[in-house]
Each structure stands twice: as structure tokens, then as C-alpha cells.
Structure 1
């Protein structure tokens, strides 16, 4: 497993090892790359709305980590793999941020 170096300006992601010390800037546009966990599934380049939602979520402190289902009182147990899915469009992403604000990443 590894991480993804993501450029929201170019809408691209590159798989890298967590130990990699590669470039911190995009080789195409020079924008600063964001390091996200392997759980981030980058949309296709043409899917602008999904990229906008992903960028908004990251800017709001949601870095595609699993949200702990034990923290949610209405969670129904179903075994391995139970976690909140990250939204794919901006409208739902804004609702997601409001609903799970207490679970965002604290150290940005």
C-alpha cells in the first residue's frame, strides 16, 4: 500500500510509496501536490464535478480516512468494511462536511 500524490489543478494522481520523498510540486503545472491515502480513488480527468468535490473535502479537513463507525449512534453493524462513503459531487460533499464536521482531520 502507499499514498497518492494528487494535483487538483491538473486533475491527476500518482501512486507512490509512503516512504517516497518525491516532488512536492506538480511536474506539469507547478502546483503543490496533496498526499492522500491509498483509499482515495481519483476520478477520471474529465469528471470535473468529482474532482471539485474531492478538493472541497480535502480543504475542509476530510482526507479520505475511514470515519469510525463506532462514533455514529445510528450505525448498523454488518462486519468488515462498514464506513462512511465519501461523496462524489459538490452538493452532497457540503452536506457531508456539515454532518461529519466533528470527525474532520484536526492537524492540517
Structure 2
């Protein structure tokens, strides 16, 4: 049985890739901006400010939540979401570290 190729990479590399993938859609960036402005938001309010259908927004919220970038509570018909700032701080530090390492390597490269 074949093993997934992701297993060949460190947990940190896999986590960074998952974080980047979760951010790799302009609708998700827009959703995060709305959440940052409001600190907490009901899903319906997000739909009102974005040119997307409710189901599309819900799918993007699901992706962000699965990646750990947002937290959410469902209270009957209302869904409230907020940014998980601890996750952003963690990945900010890890991306900064990665970029510094890449920059150091670039100084040694021939190109």
C-alpha cells in the first residue's frame, strides 16, 4: 500500500502548508478581514458584505475553521465566528522563520 507523500515532510512543514492552503482563496481573505473588523460575526452578516451565496460563505468558513484559523459557535440558526489569534501568531512566527532561512540560503545561492 502506498503512503501519502506528505508523510515525508515534517509536521511543521505540513502545518505551514495547510495554513497557506486555507488562506489561498480571496474569499477567505475577505472573510478574515470582516471577522477582524467585527471581532465576532454572524455568518449572515458576512454574506451581506461579500458577493457570495450563503452556502459558499459557509464552505469557506468550514475550511478556515478546519485549519484552526477561526473559532465558531452554532447557537440555533445563528453561527458566530471569530479569528483564532493564537493560530495566526504561531504561523506568523513560523513563516517569519521560514522566510529568514530562505533568505539566508538565497545569499549563498549562485542565482
TM range (shorter): under 0.3
Normalised TM-score (structure 1): 0.26
Q: Indicate the structure (1 or 2) with the bigger Cα radius of gyration.
A: 2
Query: As a proportion of its length, which structure holds more helix?
Result: 2
